[in-house]
Structure 1
Amino acid sequence: MSLSLKKRLAAACAMGAATVLVAAVPASAHVIVQPSSVPKNATDQTFAFRVPNEDDKNSTVKVEIDFPTDHPIPSVKVAPVPGWADTIQTTKLATPIHTDDGDITDAVSQVVWTGGQITPDHFQDFTIELGALPGGTDKVVFKTLQTYSNGKIVRWIEEPQDGQPEPKNPAPVLKLTAATAATASDPDGPTPSAAASAKADPPATSTATAKASSDDSTARALGIAGIVVGVLGVVTGVVLARRGRGTGRGTSA
């Protein structure tokens, strides 16, 4: 086998191996809200903010979720999380929200969890229930601050834009889809099927011990693709080797 052919074979194998290694690296996790979308007229909806710990040495010790003030949310209920204490902050509205039960002058501005820990390679679901969704918008952006035990603060506050690459630290976004048809017995609420659909993906409420990256299906798909490319690289090298030997025999004859 000629020296140049050996180099091509080595390069093909190296390219395939490198592709496998790069593709096998899981995508970086970030704070998300589950479910990520509900009908605009959904009521008494339960959501979970999943917070992964991305630090190899330090634990997450504080989570702050800011609620929008331009599209206010009047009330929230917080599910207890073992080991964590929660605080609900409210703010006075410049323009009251008019309802059949009277005007609402205060809205939720922030929910804070402290006292617990999310250790490295773990995540935690923080569950809340919204009594009503805001009107006049197609999405709700929940800017989130994550504080680690060494004092580092990760600000998940960048709003993703349609058609643009995902920002480095995206904020959790709840999308509000078209309102569902009302039923005869409940003209202001969603149909039973719509309610079931909205709650078809219930969030977990207990402390999770699985790694945040283990359920990243995208990373697994990329890993498989990388393996395929690696195999193709090896096959290409073998074909080149055989051609080289054939060329060598022809020259010597």
Structure 2
Amino acid sequence: MPQKFVLRAAAIAAASALILAGAAGSASAHVTVSSPDAKPGGYAKLVFRVPTESDNASTTKLVVSLPKDHPFAHVGAQVKDGWKVVKTTEKLPQAVKVGDVTLSEAITTVTWTAAAGGVPPNDFDEFALSVGKLPEGVDSLNFPAVQTYSDGEVVKWEELAKDGADKPEHPAPTLKLVTAVTPVAASTEVDNPDTLARVLGGAGLLLGLIGLGLGLRAGRTRKATP
């Protein structure tokens, strides 16, 4: 078989695989949480990504539950055009010390409700919180969420993944708290790609000059021999 036909068939197969992967990804989309600056002991922006998994209904309401075992002393909700936001405060089962503050009550849920429209079918939107301080000595935080559609459907994203088990169908949004550690070697000049290239290039040039000098010397030696 000519090579060009083999390459064309491979390209078509790769494109088909990408399409299937994209379809599978969209089918398994769920409410997630991420943060560009979350660090234990600090303040962070939490971003909840909410896809509307419906062909004919919109997302009209989102309720996010905050951890009661690690409450936040500060919770600021993003103000979004076309959405009403409500923060609900509850009395904690027991007082919790957060930094220099001891909390007996805390904001435990934040609710966004669409005044009109909402998140259209097959689209997504993002809802943000500013919280702090994040707990120390904790690997992750769970934020169960409830998503309501314009047709009355309610989806609860509150299932927790268990070790060794398959990923749950409706997982709770989970934020990983991992402190980034910069390797010591990364700060040295030799690890810079440009610097390393210049060093290697200079070494190669030096070796070339040495080889050329030895060659010329050998040539003169042969000519001087009777």
Give the TM-score category using the shorter length: 0.5 to 0.7
Listed as ranges, the matches of 1:213-224 within 5 Å are: none
Structure 2 residue aligned with 1:150: 151
1:109 alignment partner, SS class: strand
1:112 alignment partner, SS class: strand
* Distance in 2 separating the partners of 1:69 and 1:94: 9
Decide whether the 8 Å contact of 1:37 with 1:177 is kept in 2: no
Decide whether the 8 Å contact of 2:95 with 2:104 is kept in 1: yes
Are the structure 2 counterparts of residues 56 and 106 from structure 1 closer, same or farther at C-alpha, using a change threshold of 3 Å? same
Decide whether the 8 Å contact of 1:65 with 1:111 is kept in 2: yes
* Distance in 1 separating the partners of 2:43 and 2:156: 28
**TM-score of the aligned structures, taking structure 1 as reference length:** 0.58
The partner residue of 1:25 within 7, 23, 26 is: 23
Are the structure 2 counterparts of residues 98 and 23 from structure 1 closer, same or farther at C-alpha, using a change threshold of 3 Å? closer
Listed as ranges, the matches of 1:81-230 within 5 Å are: 81-98=80-97, 101-116=100-115, 117-178=118-179
The higher radius of gyration belongs to 2
Of structures 1 and 2, the one with the larger relative CO (CA 8 A, separation 6+) is 1
Structure 1 residue aligned with 2:53: 54
Q: How much does 1:59 deviate?
A: 0.6
Decide whether the 8 Å contact of 2:73 with 2:98 is kept in 1: no
Are the structure 2 counterparts of residues 104 and 120 from structure 1 closer, same or farther at C-alpha, using a change threshold of 3 Å? same
| Matched length | 165
Are the structure 2 counterparts of residues 150 and 176 from structure 1 closer, same or farther at C-alpha, using a change threshold of 3 Å? same
* Amino acid aligned to 2:23: V
**TM-score of the aligned structures, taking structure 2 as reference length:** 0.64
Q: How much does 1:165 deviate?
A: 2.4
* Amino acid aligned to 1:35: S
* Amino acid aligned to 1:82: D
Are the structure 2 counterparts of residues 19 and 80 from structure 1 closer, same or farther at C-alpha, using a change threshold of 3 Å? closer
Are the structure 2 counterparts of residues 101 and 21 from structure 1 closer, same or farther at C-alpha, using a change threshold of 3 Å? closer
Q: How much does 1:178 deviate?
A: 4.1
Q: 1:180-199 deviations in whole A, cap 9, x for unaligned?
A: 7xxxxxxxxxxxxxxxxxxx
Counterpart check, 1:63 vs 2:62:
yes
Q: Which of structure 1's runs of 4+ aligned residues deviate more than 6 A?
A: 18-21
Q: How much does 1:177 deviate?
A: 2.0
* Distance in 1 separating the partners of 2:18 and 2:127: 35
* Distance in 2 separating the partners of 1:63 and 1:75: 20
Q: How much does 1:79 deviate?
A: 1.4
* Distance in 2 separating the partners of 1:143 and 1:100: 24
Decide whether the 8 Å contact of 2:72 with 2:98 is kept in 1: no
Structure 2 residue aligned with 1:74: 73
- Quote the sequence identity (%): 35
* Amino acid aligned to 2:105: D
1:25 alignment partner, SS class: helix
* Amino acid aligned to 2:52: N
Decide whether the 8 Å contact of 1:62 with 1:112 is kept in 2: yes
Are the structure 2 counterparts of residues 148 and 131 from structure 1 closer, same or farther at C-alpha, using a change threshold of 3 Å? same
* Amino acid aligned to 1:140: L
* Amino acid aligned to 1:70: D
Unaligned runs of 5+ in 2: 1-13, 182-226
* Distance in 1 separating the partners of 2:18 and 2:130: 43
Unaligned runs of 5+ in 1: 1-15, 181-253
